[in-house]
A and B are shown apart, each in its own frame.
Chain A
Amino acid sequence: MKILVTVKRVVDYNVKIRVKADGSGVELANVKMSMNPFDEISVEEALRLKEAGKADEVVVVSVGPAKAEETLRTALAMGADRAILVETEDQVEPLAVAKIVKGVAEVEQPGLIIVGKQAIDDDSNQTGQMLSALLGWAQGTFASKVEISDGKATVTREVDGGLQTIDIKLPAVVTTDLRLNEPRYASLPNIMKAKKKPLDRHTPADFGVDTTARLKVLKTEEPEGRKAGIKVKSVAELVEKLKVEAGVL
């Protein structure tokens, strides 16, 4: 079985982002970029499935700017076999990403597609579900455990009340949650090796997808700030303040 994994280049999760003064967006110039953390978990899961003999090839795909090649190389350094970059400078919305990845899947015919549950830039949490819908496949979202057995995947999902386990028919789309695994670091020799692994380039047009934004962003602004309050000296003072001043106890 072949596994297709999606990866996105995003602002590193440790960066405190700044909103542009003119309200046109978030400052992305000279900001550290990394692989979306959920996508690292996706790559790791695919590699573990391959190591366990459940898959024979791991293909990573990214829809994004030319520099998304770095992100794909990171996935290759972790151990993915080859990469596909669908290059566009547009900010591609989740629906268009799903359509592009559907096009890739029709060519690649994977048995499983692993997608991060959300990207930490736009926090949409849509692409995996949309991809699954467009392919007419089953979806196993927010996975904290994935087991593959003949023709199906048993997926344990993180849901609001705890955990839910479902069986989904393969091929399927799984989206990854935080507790699925702890991604490995790429070793230096593997980083060197990754430079020589195959990377195919395409454009959204190759898959007949128009990436023009359908949602109009009118403005981007800073959230209302919260000011630091006061330090209290003791538990007694804290309880007193909460009862009398704040009236919340």
Chain B
Amino acid sequence: MAILLLADHDGSHLSDQTAKTLTAATKIGGDVHVLVAGAGAKAAADQAAKLSGVAKVLVAEDTSLANNLAEPLAALIVSLAGNYDTILAAATSVGKNVLPRVAALLDVVQVSEITEVVSSDTFKRPIYAGNAIQTVQTTEAKKVITVRTASFASASEGGSASVETIAAVANPGLSTFVADALSSSDRPELTSAKIIISGGRALGSAEKFQEVILPVADKLGAAVGASRAAVDAGYAPNDWQVGQTGKVVAPDLYIACGISGAIQHLAGMKDSKVIVAINKDEEAPIFQVADYGLVADLFEALPEMERAS
């Protein structure tokens, strides 16, 4: 039977989380149908149709689907579930919000944040902040799975799937959208950036964070991340947090500045290809995972790095 993949998009653009989840879907095996739900989702649906490995795109457009509210989106997915034996979504804030609701409505267990497809019913997933890896097998009638996209490459383009319009289902009317306060930035997105520079508590203030980290990020074309300590202290917004309960990233280069390296932070970045740590404290645990460590005052080192790179 076929696989239903919930697309991650903002209406006009399909995020590359979808292409990465598609790679996991292809490994599970079966026809992959991508569901693009939103108020205006046609553009994102057309982009999904171009991904190689997509058999069909289903597009559902309705005002109730505009803001990824869990109840109407889950109701839509459940209405389609009869045709599928696997339902997949990227472990984004949307996927994490809606898929467990779908699983419960179908009375099946969910497998969260898989990092490897061992076979069509067996998966690896991290537990304890990535300090242990479980291999789990599901025998559920329907497999409901979220995918940790940092562990999968993006599927390539080159497909030409058909796009079929489907009807939305009745809105359960339990929740209403009030407002978004989304960060807008010209920098790359954290979860798809090739280079990330992250700041920790050592930055000392929001002003210093901006003054020292951002110029280097712009010079390198990097996304900006932060440790939980920096976010809790108000130096950086919540959507920059990298770690067990924030975003999990695996860029080519991760530069940790003034971050001590708590296990919860390491959980979010230790699969990066190259890790650089800049820290004044040479005993900081971050150096145990860093390919290149520089013991230095970051207020001197970072401006120098901006000039040198």
Chain A contacts to B: CB under 8 angstroms: 11, 13, 16-17, 19, 26, 38, 93-95, 98, 117-118, 120-134, 136-142, 144, 154, 157-169, 172, 177-179, 214-223, 226, 228-236, 238-239, 241-243, 246, 248-249
The stretch of B20-28, B34-42, B92-100 in contact with A is B92-100
**What CA separation (Å) do A132 and B71 show in the bound complex?**
9
The stretch of B55-63, B129-137, B152-160 in contact with A is B129-137
**What CA separation (Å) do A43 and B20 show in the bound complex?**
37
6 A-B interface contacts by CB (under 8 A):
A26-B132, A123-B129, A160-B239, A162-B239, A231-B292, A242-B276
Besides the known contacts A160-B247, A239-B309, A242-B274, 6 further A-B residue pairs in the complex with CB atoms under 8 A apart? A26-B128, A158-B238, A178-B232, A215-B136, A218-B135, A230-B292
Q: Are A160 and B104 in contact (CB under 8 A)?
A: no
The answer, among B74, B102, B112, for a CB contact under 8 Å with A123, is B112
Secondary structure class of chain B's binding surface, majority of residues: mixed
Interface assignment of B252: CB less than 8 Å from any CB of chain A: yes
Q: Are A125 and B96 in contact (CB under 8 A)?
A: yes
Expressed in whole angstroms, the minimum distance between the Cβ of B294 and any Cβ of chain A is 5
Q: Are B92 and A11 in contact (CB under 8 A)?
A: no
The stretch of B44-52, B172-180, B205-213 in contact with A is B172-180
User: Closest A-chain residue to B90, C-beta based?
Assistant: A160
User: Closest A-chain residue to B91, C-beta based?
Assistant: A125
**What CA separation (Å) do A127 and B110 show in the bound complex?**
10
The residues in B between 90 and 121 inclusive whose CB is less than 8 angstroms from any CB of A are 92-94, 96-105, 107-113
Q: Are B100 and A235 in contact (CB under 8 A)?
A: no
With A120-B128, A120-B244 as known contacts, state yes or no: A138 contacts B292, CB within 8 Å. no
The stretch of B80-88, B162-170, B300-308 in contact with A is B300-308
Q: Are B231 and A179 in contact (CB under 8 A)?
A: yes
User: Closest B-chain residue to A236, C-beta based?
Assistant: B308
